[in-house]
């Protein structure tokens, strides 16, 4: 079964602390993994994807096929990082279908 699991509903850290939002997936082929972010009163937007291997707003994520994980990390959290974060999977082939995890609310306290 295709599934994305984000075990934490809420992650609360202090400004300047490291952040790791966990994401595990279940998929039998070669999926494409994404992190989407939704800031308060804004639309859902792409943060990063595994094929780009880039750092956006200080966030990075590495695809670990052995552990079927795609954890999102940032060494020093900022208050403006407070948002809802969704991990998502797209299967192989021509498809726009995204399978989302339940989301993790990141709260960065001053």
Partner 1 sequence: KAGVTQTPRYLIKTRGQQVTLSCSPISGHRSVSWYQQTPGQGLQFLFEYFSETQRNKGNFPGRFSGRQFSNSRSEMNVSTLELGDSALYLCASSPGTGSVDTEAFFGQGTRLTVV
Question: Applying CB under 8 A, which residues contact partner 1?
Answer: 32, 43-46, 49, 86, 90, 94-103
Residue 34 or 77: the one with the smaller Cβ distance to partner 1 is 34
Q: Taking the complex as a whole, how short is the minimal distance between the CB of residue 67 and partner 1, in angstroms? A: 22
Residue 15 or 24: the one with the smaller Cβ distance to partner 1 is 24
CA quadruple 75, 77, 78, 83: dihedral positive or negative? positive
- Rg of the chain in Å (alpha carbons): 13
Residue 13 or 98: the one with the smaller Cβ distance to partner 1 is 98
Residue 13 or 99: the one with the smaller Cβ distance to partner 1 is 99
From residue 47, alpha-carbon distances to 16, 85, 87, 110 in Å are 20, 9, 10, 23
Q: Taking the complex as a whole, how short is the minimal distance between the CB of residue 60 and partner 1, in angstroms? A: 18
> Alpha-carbon dihedral of residues 18, 89, 30, 74, nearest 10 degrees?
-10
Q: Taking the complex as a whole, how short is the minimal distance between the CB of residue 5 and partner 1, in angstroms? A: 11
Distinct helix (H) and strand (E) counts, the chain:
0, 11
Q: Taking the complex as a whole, how short is the minimal distance between the CB of residue 79 and partner 1, in angstroms? A: 24
């Amino acid at each position: 079964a295709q599934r994305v699991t984000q075990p934490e509903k809420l992650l609360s850290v202090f400004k300047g602390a490291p952040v790791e939002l966990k994401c595990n997936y279940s998929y039998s082929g070669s999926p494409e993994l994404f992190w989407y972010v939704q800031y308060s009163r804004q639309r859902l937007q792409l943060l990063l994807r595994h094929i780009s291997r880039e750092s956006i707003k200080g966030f990075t994520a590495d695809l670990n096929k052995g552990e079927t994980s795609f954890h999102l990390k940032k060494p020093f959290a900022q208050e403006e990082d407070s948002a809802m974060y969704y991990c998502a999977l797209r299967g192989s082939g021509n498809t726009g279908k995204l399978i989302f995890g339940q989301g993790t609310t990141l709260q960065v306290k001053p």
